[in-house]
């Protein structure tokens, strides 16, 4: 039963992320400022998660800690300051880069490049000596091939367009109030692709650093809430600097408001919980193996709802990125299994050495008679 739940949760999570790519791109087509959008999104996530955290933790320390950290008057050491710095790199910088690059490219490219995140995370872990590559083993060769495939996929998406495929639905569900963003110039497309990769690199670096952060803060709910609160405050400062025309900050009941509510409540509040549940049941490799489904779903939905023109280069680049993802995952899984086998052998040897009585009993047992052997 748990296996079916894991499959269902992984599928639902990918559908949620597909909706995130589509509605976010639709909001940018409608004209909302990307920096203002990030502020509203993180503020909505904070409004959702903060009361839940207070109900679950029943601790006012969660409310006081962000204020103490921001004022710099904390007496609890430097952990809060390091958390603020790490969150600045993760939420403010990475999310703003992602949204700018999404405005320059398409939802299909955004979903395709997410397949490179496990590979980029592996590269950062390798540089920080948290991972090891043994080139003489098949697992090491698979990891190296995965990194090469991901690099090839990024360059194909950036520099090769190829034939264009007409949209599945010519009557778009989300109409754009600005110029059509599904046909950007070649310069903007290349710039957006590499900004998307840089955003994924920043996010992957935060994933690597999160391992040490969770050792200092084992409470995942506390870390998540503080990240959202810090990100909302930092994003507000960035948005005020980037967009000083406050008339563009007004929210209306349109696709922009839908995107803010969806990304703030559904993506942050629901998908993150489902993702953690799936990883707990089946492991991170199982969950990461479902990531390419989001690319397939987004390619169809962006063409159907947004009228985006999908190029052959985006499809080929996405396939290369998916191939790189599976190559790294296969190498990592094979390495984990090979490291686990010697441990099992050692445990068996220790069990035999610790049980001399069972060996003596086996020697004292009478041998079977010829009739019993037959």
pLDDT the model gives residue 139: 84
Tokens encoding 8: 């269902």
- Answer whether residue 21 shows pLDDT above 80: yes
Of 92, 313, 40, 329, the residue nearest 199 (C-alpha):
92
Give the residue numbers spanning the domain of 305: 2-350
3-state helix, strand, coil in the chain (%, to 5): 80, 0, 20
Within a domain: residue 318? yes
Report the run of H or E that residue 164 belongs to, with start and end.
strand 164-165
High-pLDDT (> 70) share of the chain, %: 71
Most confident of 35-44, 57-66, 339-348: 35-44
Phi-psi region of 259 (alpha: psi -120 to 50; beta: other; left: phi over 0): alpha
Higher pLDDT: 51 or 285? It is 51
Within a domain: residue 368? no
Within a domain: residue 355? no
- Answer whether residue 366 shows pLDDT above 70: no
pLDDT the model gives residue 78: 46
pLDDT the model gives residue 372: 35
Name the packing angle between helices 79-87 and 61-71 (round to 10°).
Answer: 80
Within a domain: residue 367? no
pLDDT digits (tens, 9 = 90+) for 59-68: 545 454 554 4
pLDDT the model gives residue 369: 39
- Answer whether residue 200 shows pLDDT above 50: yes
CB atoms within 10 A of CB 269: 16
pLDDT digits (tens, 9 = 90+) for 138-148: 888 888 888 89
pLDDT the model gives residue 174: 61
What is the C-alpha to C-alpha distance for residues 100 and 105, in angstroms, rounded to an integer?
A: 9
How many structural domains comprise the chain?
A: 1
Tokens encoding 97: 């880069």
Q: How confident is the model at residue 360 (pLDDT cuts 50, 70, 90)?
A: very low
pLDDT the model gives residue 36: 92
Mean pLDDT computed over 170-186: 57
- Answer whether residue 271 shows pLDDT above 60: yes
Higher pLDDT: 84 or 122? It is 122
Cβ atoms of 30 and 178 within 8 Å: the answer is yes
Within a domain: residue 370? no
Residues 6 or more apart whose Cβ sits within 8 Å of residue 288: 118, 325, 329
Within a domain: residue 245? yes
* Chain centroid, CA 73 distance in Å: 34
What is the C-alpha to C-alpha distance for residues 292 and 148, in angstroms, rounded to an integer?
A: 18
- Answer whether residue 181 shows pLDDT above 80: no
Half-sphere exposure of 78 (CA within 13 A, CB side): 3
Report the run of H or E that residue 334 belongs to, with start and end.
helix 312-353
Within a domain: residue 365? no
Tokens encoding 274: 């489902």
Instruction: Name the residue with tokens 């079916």.
Output: 4
Tokens encoding 139: 């697992």
Mean pLDDT computed over 203-222: 67
pTM: 0.76
Within a domain: residue 372? no
- Answer whether residue 160 shows pLDDT above 70: yes
């Amino acid at each position: 039963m748990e296996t079916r739940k894991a499959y269902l949760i992984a599928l639902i999570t990918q559908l949620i992320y597909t909706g995130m790519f589509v509605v976010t791109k639709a909001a940018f087509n409608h004209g909302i400022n990307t920096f203002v959008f990030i502020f509203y999104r993180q503020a909505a996530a904070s409004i959702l998660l903060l009361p839940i955290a207070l109900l679950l933790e029943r601790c006012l320390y969660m409310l006081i800690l962000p204020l103490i950290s921001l004022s710099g008057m904390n007496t609890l050491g430097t952990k809060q300051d390091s958390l603020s710095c790490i969150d600045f790199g993760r939420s403010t910088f990475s999310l703003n880069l992602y949204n700018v690059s999404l405005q320059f490219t398409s939802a299909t490219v955004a979903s395709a490049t997410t397949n490179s995140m496990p590979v980029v995370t592996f590269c950062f872990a390798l540089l920080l000596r948290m991972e090891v590559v043994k080139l003489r083993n098949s697992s090491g060769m698979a990891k190296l091939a995965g990194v090469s495939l991901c690099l090839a996929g990024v360059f194909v998406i950036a520099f090769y367009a190829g034939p264009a495929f007409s949209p599945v639905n010519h009557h778009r569900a989300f109409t754009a109030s600005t110029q059509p963003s599904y046909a950007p110039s070649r310069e903007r497309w290349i710039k957006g692709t590499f900004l998307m990769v840089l955003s994924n690199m920043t996010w992957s670096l935060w994933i690597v650093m999160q391992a040490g952060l969770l050792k200092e803060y084992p409470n995942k709910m506390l870390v998540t809430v503080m990240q959202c609160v810090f990100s909302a405050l930092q994003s507000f400062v960035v948005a005020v600097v980037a967009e000083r025309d406050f008339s563009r900050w007004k929210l209306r009941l349109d696709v922009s408001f839908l995107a803010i509510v969806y990304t703030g409540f559904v993506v942050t509040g629901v998908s993150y919980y489902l993702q953690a549940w799936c990883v707990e049941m089946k492991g991170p490799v199982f969950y990461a193996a479902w990531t390419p489904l989001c690319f397939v779903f987004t390619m169809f939905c962006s063409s159907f709802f947004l009228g985006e023109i999908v190029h052959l280069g985006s499809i080929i680049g996405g396939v290369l990125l998916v191939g790189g993802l599976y190559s790294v995952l296969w190498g990592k899984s094979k390495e984990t299994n090979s490291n686990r086998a010697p441990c099992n052998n050692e445990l068996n040897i220790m069990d035999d050495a610790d049980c001399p009585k069972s060996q003596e009993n086996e020697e004292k047992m009478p041998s079977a008679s010829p009739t019993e052997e037959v």
